[in-house]
Each structure stands twice: as structure tokens, then as C-alpha cells.
A = this chain, B = another copy of it.
Amino acid sequence: MSSSSKFLEPDYLPRKHDGWQARWFNIIFHHEQGPSKTFDLALIVAILLSVTVVILDSEPGLHASYASLFYVIEWGFTLLFTAEYAMRMYLVRQPLRYAKSFFGIIDLLSILPTYLSLLFVGSQYLLIVRVLRVLRVFRILKLVEYSSEAGILIGSLLRSRRKIMVFIYAVLTVVLIFGAVMFLIEGPDAGFTSIPIGMYWAIVTMATVGYGDIVPVTPIGRFLTSILVLIGYSIIAVPTGIYTAELASTLRPKRRSVRCVECGLIDHEADSWHCRRCGRGLPE
């Protein structure tokens, strides 16, 4: 499995190597064998159900009639997930390492909101975070493939993160300048009531979203808008180019560059033992 998907879930060691702890550790932390697979399935079903409940609860009509029911179910799931979280913390040898891992944080975030909702009203909607837990779903169907696919995608994103940051920064600069200029040109009458609003408009325009809630009305404003649109339309190429180039080089078959002592061919495939041209064995 690629390092990137390892980053999603490191290999954990059980606290104990025998007894029920070991057995449960396998069930909860492994995904291949029967029982642990069943556990994963049940977990994902529970997650999807709890997310569905949150969504349904937000429908005014349904909330009116079933609010209390949803409330009970919600607490049920929360206690369930709390128990699971506690189990994981107890069964793994390095609880902190788990707690700080990607899934560890998600697991915690997915139970906190309900408890917070006792203090702050409305925060239970944040339970929606739970959907992130469904990332575990990829484990079930064709574990390796999917995880490695995700690994490749995330890996390429991580490797190109600096280029993307440079790009985002450039975009924000353009947004700031155009937001300020349009605020000067169009003014409050057209809805550009301040530079932040102008920046909001510039982002929405440059990314070609174009709500139309704020639009230029003056000729010069429309001209500048056209410029901004063309800029956005042209540089949308940049992140795509960055990512595609990165991904392509990732997918390209790895090469092994060792010089063949016979014919001097340097560029070999990673799994070559012999030179593909002269057949001479390659130095390790």
C-alpha cells in the first residue's frame, strides 16, 4: 500500500497479543478476515444511518413531526461511536498515535458535536462530519486497489501542494486588486459596498461561478470584468497543469538508472535484472 494511504491509516500494534483484547483488536483494526469485515460493514451502515438522520432532521417538515425520535436515535449513535472510540483507544498499543492519526481525529470529531449540542444549540448539525468516516468504506470493496488509488491521488496533491499554494496566492492577489478596483469603479449602487464584497465578487467571477447577485453595470466595469474572466479562464489551466504533470510522472513506470558495464545502457525498468539490449547482468 502506498505511503500516502499509510498516512491515512498507519499500522497499529495491539496492546496485548492474546486474549479477547487481541481478538477484538483484529476485528476492529484489521479488515481482511470475516469478522472484521462484518464489523466494518456494520460500522459503515451505522455511519450512513446517523448521517441520514441528521439530514432528515434538517427538513422543517420532518423535524416538526419526528424531532424527538431523531433526537433519541442521534444519542444512540453517539453513544455507540463513543464506545467504539474508547475501545480503539484501549486496544491499541500506541493510543496517542491513533488519536493523532487522520481517522483518529475524524472519529473524535464525529462524536463531539452531540455532546457540544448540550451546550450550544444547533451544533449537532456538525455531526455531518461523520460522513468523513465513510472513507473507511473503500476498505471493504477491493481494499488494496481503492486505498492505493486514493493514495496516488492524495500523494500527487501533496507533492504539488507548494505549486498549488503559489497559484492560490497569485489568484488571491488578482482577486484583491480587482475587488478594490471594482469597488472604486462600480460603487455601492451596483452592490460593491466594500472591498471584501468586491473580493467575494472577484472570486465568484474568476472561478467562473458567476452567481449574478452582484454584477457590473458600468461600461468600464464590464470591460474589467471581461479581463478578469479571461484571466480566470486562462489560468484555470495552471492547477490542472500542475496536477496532471505530477500525476502523469507518478503513473509513469518507475525506471532504474544503472549503467550496463557491457553496452552502457543506463535507462532500465525498475524490475530489470539483465540489460535489455546486451543481456549482461546488471550490477545491483
Contact = CB atoms under 8 A, between A and B. Distances in A.
Given A168-B230, A263-B263, A274-B275, A225 B200 contact: yes
Interface string A185-204: 00010000111110110011
B171 A131 contact: no
A58 B257 CA distance: 58
Interface stretch (A12-20, A38-46, A94-102, A236-244): A236-244
Interface residues of A, number: 109
Contacts of A240: 236-237, 240-241, 243-244
A16 to B, nearest CB: 35
Interface string A26-68: 0000000000000000000000000100110011100000000
A200 to B, nearest CB: 5
B278 A194 contact: no
A156 interface: yes
B233 A239 contact: yes
A6 to B, nearest CB: 16
Contact of A280 (B54, B129, B203, B279): B279
Interface of A: 51, 54-55, 58-60, 122, 125-126, 128-129, 131-132, 134-135, 138, 142, 145-146, 149-150, 152-153, 156-157, 162-164, 166-169, 171-173, 176-177, 179-181, 183-184, 188, 193-197, 199-200, 203-213, 215, 219, 222-223, 225-226, 229-230, 232-234, 236-252, 257, 263-281
A130 to B, nearest CB: 9
A54 B249 contact: no
A274 B269 contact: no
A180 to B, nearest CB: 4
Contacts of A167: 153, 234
B239 A131 contact: no
Give 3 nearest A-B pairs by CB, closest first: A274-B279, A209-B210, A128-B180
